[in-house]
Amino acid sequence: MSQTDFLYLMPLLILTFAVLVSMLVIAAWRNHKIIYVITALSFIAAFGSLFELRTTTAYVIEPMFVIDGFGVFYIGMILLTSLLVSMLSYAYFEQREERKEEYYLLLVLATLGACVLVISTHFASLFLGLEILSISLYALIPYLRTRPRSDEAGIKYLILAAFSSAFMLFGMALVYFSTGTMMFSGLAQSIAGMQELPLLLLTGIGMILIGVGFKLGIVPFHMWTPDVYEGAPAPVTAFIATVSKGGVLGLLVRFFMEVDGFRYPVLITIFTVVAITSMFAGNLLALIQKNVKRILAYSSISHLGYILVAFMAGNQMGVEAITFYLVAYFITSVGAFGVVAMLSDKDSDAELLDDYKGLLWRRPWTAAVFSAMLLSLAGIPLTAGFVGKFYIIAAGINDQLWLLVVMLVLNSVIGLYYYIKIIAVMFQQPETEREPGTRLRPSIYVASAGTLAVLALLLVYVGVYPTGLVQLIQNVLVSVPEIVAK
């Protein structure tokens, strides 16, 4: 590797170095605040290093990675989200007696895996990033071992991830057997002149997509997703809903754009069915839930169905819509789970609807932030979620995906019910007198309330003035030839 290669990989190297430093510090002296500061500084430093790469054209590190505008933007989005999750995690774990330091090691490693995914152009680097992400989540999900359903959630995620890895590995083997290459560009060259994919190659790509489906939690691979969301600590659930799925989506977009997978009707049909069933299954199952974390879990399934509408467009506008929607979804999901984390105590998370009864009268500011996040998820105007859905609908209409657009609008109406249900519970009159406000230490207050305030401001800003973010995304995608060309 050359010196330039190391420069372009600097965000990943900073995260790796931060893990090593944290391990040495933990071995010498356990201190929650110090490890948190190291973690936060590593995310900030890694994000700062991206500014050296922001105006460059695509830089290829053969044969594993390509660092381009698309990859830099997604890495930046992942790093900022992980920073916000780490701030929520500090406030969440500071009130608990468990050993907290190893949590941040796993959080940084999982972030590193997601960053590797979005710049991968080879099946080996794809699998490496996926396993770094997954193995870290194996320990993050059941981190609070004494919590009910924590071990169950960890075991279920382990089984799902094992199935995912098995399908992907076998699919990669079939693709390599059929084409003799494991690079995305090599696969694209092998199938460039084919109007129909050979059965063996189609089977291999299908198995890879099954593995991706498990990671995204879309139908029909969603079976245990709500159980994982429910059993994991609230900050970890926020990380799974955003960084984990965002990294896999970035990989999926790059892979399909490079191999031009939208030319094959069988793949289009599969994604159409998956998108529609994910929208309906997520929204209809969320209607009958009484657990807020499970409601948000089923909501995430439906939102991935919405994103697949833009994905099916298979052009630059579709990629722009996906990227914008992910930014909006990251803001709202981290904000929603941040409220859950803020209201949780040392014994259990605030996950039942009864925990939010009368919240407006007990904690009006927190209720207002949570209501804003839920309205954004529902796609109400003046929020980032509304602009994101509008962008996706525009991409679908532009490509004449009328069936998917109609399904999206219909499901948005269905989804509005369970978001409003949570808000209605918060607006109920409390049955008891207003509880006295809890005085938090300044560090915990800044980490929790400060994070939610930033997210609420971003939510409204992007919803009212989306032009700046849209222009940034468009400028970023100009430097990605294989995406613009489609």
pLDDT per residue as tens digits for the range 406-428? 999 999 999 899 999 999 998 88
CA angle 235, 240, 245 (to 5 degrees): 150
Find the mean pLDDT for residues 328-352.
Answer: 86
Sequence ranges of the domains in the chain? 3-484
Lowest mean pLDDT among 53-57, 154-158, 279-283, 400-404: 53-57
The pLDDT of residue 451 is 83
Q: What pLDDT is attached to residue 305?
A: 92
Tokens of 229: 């969301």
Please state, rounded to an integer, the average pLDDT across all residues of the chain: 86
Provide CB contacts within 8 A for 313, sequence distance 6+. 321, 395, 396, 398, 399, 401
Residue 436: predicted pLDDT: 45
480 pLDDT band, cuts 50/70/90, is low
Q: Is 427 helix (H, G, I), strand (E, B) or coil?
A: coil
**pLDDT value for 370:** 92
Q: What percent of the chain has pLDDT over 90?
A: 41
**Residue for token digits 């169905």?**
305
Q: Judge whether residue 218 has pLDDT over 90.
A: no
pLDDT tens sequence across 101-149 = 888 999 999 999 999 999 999 999 999 999 999 999 999 998 887 777 8
> Rounded CA gap, 121 and 10, in Å?
18
Q: Which segment, 315-329, 336-350, 439-453, is predicted with the most confidence on average?
A: 315-329
pLDDT for res 84:
92
Place 486 in a pLDDT band, splitting at 50, 70 and 90: very low
Where residue 434 falls among pLDDT bands split at 50, 70, 90? very low
Q: List all residues 6 or more positions away from 469 whose beta carbon is below 8 Å from its beta carbon.
A: 324, 327, 462
Residue 225 has pLDDT above 90, yes or no: no
